[in-house]
Amino acid sequence: MHVFQPVNPEDIENGPYRFVGEKIIITSLKDGKVNAVSAEWGGVGYVWNKRVTFIFVRKSRYTRECLDESGEYSISFMDQEAYRGALKYLGMVSGRDENKLAGARLNVNYDDGIPFIDEAKEVITCKVIYKQGFEKDCFVDKEIIEKLYKDEDYHILYTGEINKILLR
């Protein structure tokens, strides 16, 4: 019989696509205007015979409106230390109220019409292929509701088929 050793998942995750403890920037368009938000939840996977990303956006966010209109988004992976202030700013301010990218002092670039952050180390561009809102009754662990959804502003899961991965 083989002997297996337990391993902490954090010890074997590496590379820019690990989505653990680092913020990403989700960028999309609405009415020709670029919007971006920083986020910590997401992942890369394989489903429906497609390479995909998973992102989570609260239903109240302007970013949700942009994703719903454009059906496309990018995920930009940033140097966490160098862009700490910009990442924080993008998570605190609404794109409904101002040009967040100008306020964060970040530049926009495009790949096949999908905006992304020019200062990024790596970028994934995606086309939305599925979305589903979280529902209170579907939470098995009710403690999550108490910790994260007291105001019932649930996230929407967006699954995006990967178009391209851009590396600097």
**For residue range 90-114, what is the model confidence (pLDDT) as tens digits?**
998 888 888 989 999 999 999 999 9
Lookup: tokens for 88: 């924080």
Q: Which helix (H) or strand (E) holds 144?
A: helix 143-148
Type of residue numbered 122? E
The owner of tokens 């205007």 is 33
Beta bridge partners of 118: none
- d(CA 72, CA 16) in angstroms, rounded, equals 20
- Which pLDDT score, from 0 to 100, does residue 24 have? 93
Q: Specify the range with the lowest mean pLDDT, choosing from 19-33, 71-85, 101-115, 124-138.
A: 19-33
